Structure 1
Amino acid sequence: MLIKNKEILIKNGGDEFGEGRKLLLDGIELALKEVSSEKSIFKNVKLSDSLLIVKDKVYNLNQFNHIYLAGFGKASIKMTEALLSLVKIDEGVVVSNVDFNGFNSRIKYIKGGHPIPDEGSIAAGRKVLNLLEKIEEDDLLFVLISGGGSSLLEYPLVSLEDLKETTKLLLSSGASIDEINVIRKHLSLLKGGKLSKRCKGRVISLIISDVVFDSLDTIASGPTYFDSSTFRDAMDVILKYGLINKIPESVKEIIYKGMDGEVEETLKENDESLNRVDNFLVATNYDLCIELKNYFDKKGINSVYLGSSIQGEAREVAKVFGGIAWEAYHKRLYFKKPLIFILGGETTVTVKGNGKGGRNQELSLAVTPYLSKTKSLFVSFGTDGIDGNSPSGGAICDSNTAKRAESLGLDYRVFLDNNDSFTFFNKLNDTITTGPTGTNVMDVMLLFTL
């Protein structure tokens, strides 16, 4: 059982919503298994004698003198294990955010920091830079990229402390991941295509997407893909969110120098080094959502997939879900109930309080009062299993959640104002607990209208 507290979550739904809760949670478990890091590699990478087939491209491994590996992100451990079962790696470095005993003597594992980079992140960055210096033109480098890679692998142009402070400010500002990564790329020696540019050999990047639109320049800050943003764009993000007087001076100095042409820009589209690089998406939020739809279809429940590009402030996005639930309850939609709306994406939270939670739990909390006027259920879950600064991956709620909370003296508005969604749902035993799942394809949101 992937969801450790599934039984209590189902029980909390009572006679009215228990079965609905079970259906949604079972679906999430099945879909996560189908887009697991290992399956994503095995579905897209095949080996026939010395021929490596990645999707529709074929490589003769005998043509390479040495084969190296650099893996970073929340899915990097499982991705590496899958690849090692297919290909012999001469040397590599892997970084993720969990304790791990390691692979073999040829592969160095380092635990890094997430969502804030730490000494481990810098150590991993240094190891990757050293690895890149060894690679010659007749060598091959596998790069395994997944969500969380931006903080887990780093070698910055500023001090670690200044990078930490900048990251904290950006994460609490309400900036989107695209905007945050614009700044990250311009403060790094590895991001924004700089990793692949430093590699003389052939590069094969296998990528699990954790961003809206599956933009290769945004996933883990695009270490093997060209970047269209500039230092000017980085400064625009700082100004947009009122951070100009809060950002460390060293960060502003790098950006100002970059704007004046004194610091090298990120890799651009016409750079010749890109001819040595092949990037492959091996898992996306779309894949997860389609697995969910197939599961619900097999169960005989109508479902509709509305895309994987949900964005915006969590409590504002909640109004959309609330509106859909109300319209469905009053039979003003051209769909037959019961019906499950399947969506993916990644909302943001502008942190103003000092509570515990994350964007998925905050979204579920903000949806809660709307559901009380309908007959429906809602789940928002981060596929990496960790939501914000809490130990849970998301939360589930239904039309009775507000009433249950009121009976315990809990006012959802107080918890929402303090960004304390985890405490609210934890008191109701409605947080979804999986621990790290070993993958990351953004968030999934399910609205079940009865």
Structure 2
Amino acid sequence: MADSPPAASLRGDALRVLHAALAAADPEEAVKRHLRLLPGGRLEAGGRIWELGRFRRVLAVGAGKATAPMARALEEILGERLDGGTIVVKDGHGLPLRRIAVREAAHPVPDSRGVQGTGEILDTLAACGAEDLVVALISGGASALLTAPVEGIGLEEKQETTRLLLACGATIHEMNAVRKHLSRAKGGGLARAAHPARVLTLVLSDVVGDDLDVIGSGPTVPDASRYADAVAILQRHGLWDRIPEAVRRHLAAGAAGDRPETPKPGDPLFAGSATVIVGSCLQALAAAAREAEAAGYRSLILSSKIEGEAREVARAFAAIGRECRDSGHPLAPPACILGGGETTVTLQGAGRGGRNQEMALAGAIALEGVPGVLFLCAGTDGTDGPTDAAGAVADGETAGRGRRLGLEPRDFLKRNDAYTFFDRLGDLIRTGPTRTNVMDVYLLLVGAGGA
């Protein structure tokens, strides 16, 4: 291990570790690692060979924050063997492509552009036959970007339901179980539309546990959830009587068996298709750990599957940081303790922020007065909530610095206004759109001797 890093370098080291994680999550390189064009027009993906000469056309569809660079890699690999396609990406996440049309739309609340782009995808798939191969490129954000409400539900009703789910503290698994049962595209909907074409899906995972039917709401894979699950989730979060009447009526009819379910495991429409996960949070954390070790830190990855209320998870990280500093457990300083996942925020105020900024603010409060410990939280997509920041960084002096500026950190946490707090302190992390998305990265740096 290299010499111990000086305490003054903690912040710079933390940012370098973060950027190593982002580089490892590069979606273009991830696709190239898992997809190869072999001699004779054979395409290898995930250990499986696809004989391209047997297909009349090869088309690309997809959606997500990281899907544009995934599509660029696909164009580079297939060249003239790719016949076209359409993808929908978040505003500002598009790239110029030669063969694939790129449509930008709103996220996390869907808009009419998402409806239009998804309509183009569904039209493309409707024209497919058994002699076609569809390559689906799915990354985080696809749940909002693939917008095709079922009959009887309008865009405004879908938007209101999404807003309620975002504000109630529901997990991504819960949110997507509801959204899949309101959509013609999600929950295996694209696979159903493409049938009998073969479908090869490349996935950049932004979901705890890498559950395929949850990533982007699983548009090309079997759906394990049911209408009854969607109803139970809305009732559990106190939303059943608050969602639009058309949504409630549709879900109730589905739970009663009066609506067709999403396609389930074993459905023949998935025969002959395949799905490959090309990138994940754990891969990003491993790269971050290597960067930290190169800078002189001992490293430990706690988990890539962290969930829970953001402020509670922050308190747990702060406790680990204090323990590490005081007793050398679970690592002796200098130490870098890493985690990843996706926390939730139950909105109580009307402030600005996101789950990572809220987590950093709660960490700042829990670490107040503790020297030599730094806490960083950031979304790998470069966007945390409806803000221009990816996250924030905090240490034992953050809360005191805020008070000297007339900012009481607990008041800002209560109002869910972490963005304003960290913006005033200059402690927001702004990466701009990264065009990747493998959930969030959390890291604790503990300097040698707690200095």
- Which TM-score band applies after superposition, normalised by the shorter structure? over 0.9
Matched with 1:10 is none
Matched with 2:115 is 122
Matched with 2:97 is 103
For each residue in 1:85-126, what CA deviation from the matched residue of structure 2 results, as whole angstroms up to 9, or x when unmatched?
A: 01132120011012446423x422211110000001111111
Question: For 2:354 and 2:407, how far apart are their aligned partners in 1?
Answer: 19
The offset of 1:275, in angstroms, is 1.1
Deviates more, 1:368-377 or 1:346-355: 368-377
For the 8 Å contact 1:211–1:345, the answer to whether it is kept is yes
For the 8 Å contact 2:325–2:332, the answer to whether it is kept is no
Does residue 83 of the first structure (1) align with residue 78 of the second (2)? Answer: no
1:212 partner amino acid: V
> Structure 2 matches for 1:288-307, cutoff 5 A?
288-307=284-303
Which SS does the other structure have where 2:77 is aligned? coil
The offset of 1:17, in angstroms, is 4.6
Matched-pair identity in %: 38
In the alignment of these two chains, the number of paired residues is 435
For the 8 Å contact 1:146–1:210, the answer to whether it is kept is yes
The offset of 1:282, in angstroms, is 0.2
Matched with 1:12 is none
Matched with 2:15 is 25
For the 8 Å contact 1:326–1:373, the answer to whether it is kept is no
Matched with 2:27 is 37
TM-score when scaled to structure 1? Answer: 0.94
Which SS does the other structure have where 1:309 is aligned? strand
1:33 partner amino acid: A
State which of 355, 361, 366 in structure 2 corresponds to 1:365: 361
Does residue 412 of the first structure (1) align with residue 412 of the second (2)? Answer: no
For the 8 Å contact 1:142–1:206, the answer to whether it is kept is yes
For the 8 Å contact 2:28–2:73, the answer to whether it is kept is yes
Question: For 1:274 and 1:198, how far apart are their aligned partners in 2?
Answer: 11
Question: For 1:429 and 1:101, how far apart are their aligned partners in 2?
Answer: 30
Gaps of 5+ in 1: 1-14
The offset of 1:361, in angstroms, is 0.2
Question: For 1:294 and 1:411, how far apart are their aligned partners in 2?
Answer: 37
State which of 208, 212, 221 in structure 1 corresponds to 2:208: 212
State which of 155, 163, 177 in structure 2 corresponds to 1:160: 155
Matched with 2:343 is 347
The offset of 1:276, in angstroms, is 2.5
Which SS does the other structure have where 1:116 is aligned? coil
Deviates more, 1:32-41 or 1:425-434: 32-41
Which SS does the other structure have where 2:190 is aligned? helix
The offset of 1:16, in angstroms, is 7.4
For each residue in 1:164-196, what CA deviation from the matched residue of structure 2 results, as whole angstroms up to 9, or x when unmatched?
A: 000000000000010000000000111111211
Question: For 2:101 and 2:363, how far apart are their aligned partners in 1?
Answer: 44
Does residue 385 of the first structure (1) align with residue 382 of the second (2)? Answer: yes
Q: CA RMSD in A?
A: 1.4
2:64 partner amino acid: G
Matched with 1:396 is 393
Does residue 179 of the first structure (1) align with residue 170 of the second (2)? Answer: no
**Cα distance, 1:334–1:181 mapped onto 2, change above 3 Å:** closer
Matched with 2:441 is 444
Deviates more, 1:63-72 or 1:370-379: 370-379
The offset of 1:415, in angstroms, is 0.5
For the 8 Å contact 2:140–2:204, the answer to whether it is kept is yes
State which of 176, 186, 196 in structure 2 corresponds to 1:191: 186
Question: For 2:119 and 2:154, how far apart are their aligned partners in 1?
Answer: 14
Question: For 2:332 and 2:325, how far apart are their aligned partners in 1?
Answer: 11
State which of 331, 334, 350 in structure 2 corresponds to 1:335: 331
**Cα distance, 1:334–1:217 mapped onto 2, change above 3 Å:** closer
Question: For 2:354 and 2:390, how far apart are their aligned partners in 1?
Answer: 8
Question: For 2:259 and 2:125, how far apart are their aligned partners in 1?
Answer: 21
State which of 311, 315, 322 in structure 2 corresponds to 1:326: 322
Spell out structure 1 runs of 4+ moving beyond 6 A. none
Question: For 1:245 and 1:282, how far apart are their aligned partners in 2?
Answer: 40
Does residue 64 of the first structure (1) align with residue 55 of the second (2)? Answer: yes
Gaps of 5+ in 2: none
> Structure 2 matches for 1:244-259, cutoff 5 A?
244-259=240-255
Question: For 1:319 and 1:86, how far apart are their aligned partners in 2?
Answer: 46
Matched with 1:267 is 263
Does residue 149 of the first structure (1) align with residue 142 of the second (2)? Answer: yes
Question: For 1:211 and 1:347, how far apart are their aligned partners in 2?
Answer: 11
**Cα distance, 1:278–1:371 mapped onto 2, change above 3 Å:** same
1:32 partner amino acid: L
The offset of 1:53, in angstroms, is 1.3
TM-score when scaled to structure 2? Answer: 0.94
Question: For 1:192 and 1:76, how far apart are their aligned partners in 2?
Answer: 18
Which SS does the other structure have where 2:276 is aligned? strand
**Cα distance, 1:101–1:312 mapped onto 2, change above 3 Å:** closer
**Cα distance, 1:187–1:334 mapped onto 2, change above 3 Å:** closer
For the 8 Å contact 2:296–2:334, the answer to whether it is kept is no
Does residue 435 of the first structure (1) align with residue 425 of the second (2)? Answer: no
For the 8 Å contact 2:24–2:287, the answer to whether it is kept is yes
Deviates more, 1:334-343 or 1:164-173: 334-343
